[in-house]
């Protein structure tokens, strides 16, 4: 059984991963299908170095895994349930947004939400 501290640490890691738009885009791309870093970098329009740093963060958070595939490395979500969780999270946020006129408090300063 997980302790409260473990639950909080897991949610904190997940929140840290979702706190960056590039990491969110990576997770959404991997939700659709496993991918190679070079393909992800091209698809997302970021440098391979920058993508590599974000993939390292997602690996450290336990959300993605790197799988050797010949001379290349393929990335995928660490568990298929993460894809379902992302789907549920997106649906929940959309449902809440459609029921209120709330906006992100940081929207004026930067792109948020």
For the chain, the structural domain boundaries read 8-79
Q: Give pLDDT, residue 110.
A: 44
The number of angstroms, rounded, from the C-alpha of 2 to the middle of its chain's C-alpha atoms is 23
- pLDDT tens column, 23-54: 999 999 999 999 999 999 999 999 999 999 99
- pLDDT tens column, 65-94: 999 999 999 999 999 999 999 999 888 887
How far is residue 57's CA from residue 67's CA, in Å, rounded to a whole number?
A: 16
By the 8 A CB rule, do 68 and 104 touch? no
Which CATH code of 3.20.20.80, 1.10.150.170, 3.30.365.10, 1.10.10.10 fits the domain covering 8-79? 1.10.10.10
Q: Give pLDDT, residue 112.
A: 37
By the 8 A CB rule, do 27 and 59 touch? no
């Amino acid at each position: 059984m997980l302790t409260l501290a473990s639950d909080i640490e897991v949610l904190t890691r997940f929140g840290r991963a979702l706190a960056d738009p590039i990491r969110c885009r990576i997770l959404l791309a991997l939700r659709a299908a496993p991918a190679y870093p070079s393909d992800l970098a091209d698809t997302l329009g970021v440098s391979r170095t920058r993508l590599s740093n974000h993939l390292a963060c997602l690996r450290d958070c336990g959300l993605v895994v790197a799988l050797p595939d010949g001379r290349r490395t393929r990335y995928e979500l660490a568990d298929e349930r993460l894809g379902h969780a992302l789907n549920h999270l997106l649906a929940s946020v959309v449902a809440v947004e459609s029921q209120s006129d709330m906006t992100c408090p940081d929207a004026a300063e930067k792109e948020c939400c």
